Amino acid sequence: MDSSVHNHDHDHDHQVVPSDLALRVKALESLLVEKGLVDPAAVDALVDKFEHKVGPRNGAQVVAKAWVDPAFKARLLEDTTSAIAELGFTSGQGDHTVVVENTPQVHNLIVCTLCSCYPWTVLGLPPVWYKSAAYRSRAVIDPRGVLREFGTEVNEDVEVRVWDSTAELRYIVLPERPAGSEKMTEQELAALVSRNSMVGVEKLPPIGGKA
């Protein structure tokens, strides 16, 4: 199979080196725009959406609300897709979201071993490491080793549950609420929630260094 269209360009334009990805993208986009197959304004809008609007802050709001509102948390664990839609986060069609809850007995970790499936309605686009061969290969066979590389120790008496997103379900971790956060508002709590804690590679540290 011909894995790269740019080979066709060589005779035509000797200035273009095959590895110049930016030029290849520009060539493809300009051709598709000329043919009416791509609207450049749509590309602009999509980039803007993921750079500025859809991202881990969405998921952090879901987590903070679950911590302060037990009825919401119950709905979230029962039917995540509907519960997050209450906050305006919808995937429109297809992707169903599932929240898995960390407890003192269970630590959850999310991966997609086959490609890069990720709960982007609540977390945005995945970081590079999530898509890396190292993470995809090792999360299922050596989850505790992977967690240690993120500085996360999980005691031997805690079950590590790895969720491999092989279908159209998208998993997100509900991390444990940090010790010392009892008096914080929902908004303050949301600011504590990291993306990595919602993928499960990190735990949230206690507030003020308390155990």
Partner 1 sequence: MNGVHDMGGMHGMGPVRHEPEKTEPVFHAAWEGRVYGINSALRAVRKWNLDAWRYQIEQLPPAEYLRMSYYEKWLTVNEQLVLKHGLVTVEEFKSGKAAPGTVKAVSAFTGEVASKRMGRGIASSKEPAVRPKFAVGEKVLARNVNPTGHTRLPRYVRGKAGIIDRDHGVYIWPDSNAHEKDEQRQHVYAVRFTARELWGESASARDTVYVDLWDNYLVHA
Residues of this chain, 28-67, that bind partner 1 according to CB under 8 A: 28-32, 34-39, 41-51, 54-55
Return the number of the residue (155 or 187) whose C-beta is nearest partner 1: 155
Site for partner 1, residues 92 to 111, rule: CB under 8 A: 92-96, 98
Q: Residue 149 corresponds to which tokens in the numbers above? A: 């590389």
Amino acid at 112: C
Active site residue 115: yes
Give me the helices (H) in the chain, please: 21-34, 40-48, 56-68, 70-78, 80-86, 120-123, 133-138, 143-149, 186-192, 195-199
With binding defined as CB under 8 A, does residue 152 bind partner 1? Answer: no
With binding defined as CB under 8 A, does residue 5 bind partner 1? Answer: yes
Min dist. Cβ of residue 54 to partner 1 (A)? 8
DSSP conformation letters of 145-172: HHHHHTT----TTSEEEEEE--SSEEEE
Q: Which of the following is catalytic: 3, 82, 91, 117? A: 117
Active site residue 91: no
For residue 163, give Cα distances in angstroms to 113, 141, 168, 174. 10, 12, 13, 13
Active site residue 30: no
Return the number of the residue (18 or 69) whose C-beta is nearest partner 1: 18
Active site residue 181: no
Binding-site residue total for partner 1 (CB under 8 A)? 91
- Kindly list the catalytic residues: 112, 115-117
